[in-house]
Amino acid sequence: MLTTTTIDAAVRAALEEDAPWGDITGEVFVPAEARADAQLRAREDGVLSGGEVFARAFTLTDPGIEVAVHLGEGETFAAGQVLATVSGPARGVLRAERIALNFTQRMSGIATLTRAFVDAVDGRTRIADTRKTTPGLRAFEKHAVVCGGGSSHRFGLSDAVMVKDNHLGVLAGAGADVTAALMAARERLGHTTMIEVEVDRLDQIPAVLDGGADIVMLDNFSLEDLRRGVTLIGDRAIVEASGNVTLETVAAIADTGVDVISSGALTHSVRAIDLGLDLVLDRAAGEADGRSDGSAEGRADSSAAGRTDGTTDGSPEGLTDGWSRAAAD
């Protein structure tokens, strides 16, 4: 789903959007020979997604930058944990920083929320995403759902037949019979293509089953009607529940016996995880500041001018926070 080609195309576009004529701050303020080491550090607990994307933002900016990602996709992390390290020409590190964070924070936010949904249903049903994704970033966001333990619904319109309420409305307006239309569609499809039909009332289910639907989506049903729908459908089709699914409601929906719960909230309403790139300048920066011992104290002092959070004690938590807090820029 998320290939290197897809990653590179999106990351290149993001880098071009961010610096179409170059990074003028870096070019006039940062010495060309300066190098930097940085750590991707979690500010809160979460689930990682987008490690490769994070790395490619830097290496596409400058092939001389080295990135080591310390966690695998889908692994959990704790606040304060170092998730990746970056080392290379300072101009490139600073230029790629925001793009790398933007991708990884959003993807990890999706993975973290998905994991919460999956944990809430405790194996009773499958959690799936929808097509309610950011345009151009669907592969990234669906990958993140899988990292969180969820399942990808159809990737796009080319993957499966999904007859929604507006399709049914068109059929009704034309005076067509739903059962006959589904049977005719089946004749035109290959044997590996699934047919899913969305219904919003119990009385729509028999015609859909008679038409041979593989999956019946019960959209915006009450909990009681979900139970009735599950009983009515039995083993004739997979039962999917959707519509206004939240972390607060998903466990009760799972209790009704549905096979799948799909939620657009996994991707369209997610909060980015708070990650930061903590930058520590190397010995050359300490010497430029009048220090030649390359000590931790020298590195802390050289970064203090860049802090915006008021931290001045040189502690690891405060070191260069002002350069690259996730909320900055």
What residue type is 40 in one-letter code?
A: L
Which two three-digit tokens encode residue 56? 């490619």
Which two three-digit tokens encode residue 254? 């799972």
Q: Is 198 a catalytic residue?
A: yes
The alpha carbon of 216 is separated from its chain's Cα centroid by a whole number of angstroms, namely: 27
* 33 in Cβ contact with 284 (< 8 Å): yes
Instruction: Single out the catalytic residue among 52, 198, 240, 274.
Output: 198
Q: 264 φ, ψ to 5°?
A: -70, -20
Which two three-digit tokens encode residue 37? 């080491």
* 127 in Cβ contact with 254 (< 8 Å): no
Instruction: Single out the catalytic residue among 35, 43, 95, 98.
Output: 98
> The sheet that has 35-42: what strands, in order across it?
66-69, 82-89, 35-42, 275-281
Which two three-digit tokens encode residue 16? 């071009």
Instruction: Single out the catalytic residue among 154, 164, 186, 307.
Output: 164
Helix axes 4-18, 51-61, angle to 10 degrees: 60
Residue 213: DSSP 8-state:
-
Please state, as a whole number, how many other Cβ atoms lie within 10 Å of the Cβ of residue 55. 23
Instruction: Single out the catalytic residue among 165, 219, 255, 287.
Output: 219
The CA distance from 66 to 45, in Å, is 25
The CA distance from 130 to 174, in Å, is 28
Q: Is 219 a catalytic residue?
A: yes
Q: Is the dihedral of CA 115, 105, 306, 35 positive or negative?
A: positive
Q: 4 φ, ψ to 5°?
A: -60, -40
Give the residue numbers marked as catalytic: 98, 132, 164, 198, 219
